[in-house]
Amino acid sequence: MPSKMPLVLALAGLTASSLFLTACSSTSDEASRQTGAPPSTGRAPAHWSYEEVGGPEAWGGLSEDYDLCASGTSQSPIDLPRTVPDLSDDVSIGTRVAPVTEADTGHASQVEVGADGSTVRAGSRDFELLQMHAHTPAEHTVDGIAPVAEMHLVHTSDDGQLLVLSVLVDEGSASEPWQTFLDTATGPDGTTSTIDVASLLPSSLQYWSYDGSLTTPPCSEGVSWVVFSEPVTLSTEQIARLDAVHDHNARPTQGLNDRVVRGGDAMLRSE
């Protein structure tokens, strides 16, 4: 096993307000917990979608707040190489059984995670799990091919930095742990449950990592991505359930530019 070096997080120079999604002022505190957003400045966000009108190609022109969607040079998602690079990064994941609540955003099936649900340690910084949401098909591609879905586990640190664990999904056997997510995220408003976060992860925790952005407006940069190379599987019926709620909610891949894709092998730790 190659030696591991701390995961380098290129997040300096970003404030929390530039990093996170903007929430409506009337629900700013709740939105902050659900999406990692800071309290709103009071300006209503511009409407965006995944459709032809207002879709990803148009995001940058919808609002000055979304300029990075068009002009950013460290945008996500990206096309990942078929082979994981040398395992030089080091991430550990502390997982618990977490309380979750339905929190559909109108753009993705999502659950909000209660306090002390799970943490990721990257270098000397800890990130707390805030929410999980789904994209169909996957946003990241591997050697040009998009898996059928992708699950994002969004974490934030005390100083307002973001790290996303990404779980790619292939069609295959049904997943009981992810069924709990589906039942909650696509259930009636306010549906609650508990999820064992460790059970959601693939058996191999090798991953690609790189410095990117939010994959939705305002496309803020400075987000650290950890994308597991081994996919989990969902059944045809489970994937159809996601599609029935939010079909094709995936941003196309963006240019890598001068960024480097790194590799690592995460560890689970007891908490």
* pLDDT tens digit sequence for 69-119: 999 999 999 999 999 998 888 899 998 899 999 999 999 999 999 977 789
The pLDDT value recorded for residue 90 is 87
Amino acid at residue number 120: V
Give the three-class secondary structure for 153.
strand
Q: Specify whether the CB–CB gap between 21 and 35 falls below 8 A.
A: yes
Residues linked to residue 196 through DSSP beta bridges, in sequence order:
97
Predicted TM-score (pTM) of the model is: 0.85
Residue 60 reports pLDDT greater than 70: yes
Q: Cα–Cα distance between 133 and 120 in angstroms, integer? A: 17
Q: Specify whether the CB–CB gap between 88 and 5 falls below 8 A.
A: yes
- For the beta carbon of residue 249, count every other beta carbon within 10 angstroms: 22
Q: What is the dihedral of CA 200, 173, 80, 105, to 10 degrees?
A: -60
Residue 228 reports pLDDT greater than 50: yes
Residue 192 reports pLDDT greater than 80: yes
- For the beta carbon of residue 42, count every other beta carbon within 10 angstroms: 10
Shortest CA distance to 32 belongs to which of 42, 41, 22, 43?
Answer: 22
Q: Tell me the domains of the chain and their CATH numbers.
A: 16-269 (3.10.200.10)
The pLDDT value recorded for residue 45 is 81
Q: Cα–Cα distance between 42 and 52 in angstroms, integer? A: 28
Whether 107 is catalytic: yes
Which position among 107, 140, 155, 248 bears the catalytic label? 107
* Helix/strand number for the chain, H first, E second: 6, 16
Q: Which DSSP letter does residue 259 get?
A: -
Each residue's pLDDT tens digit, 6-29: 333 333 333 333 333 332 222 233
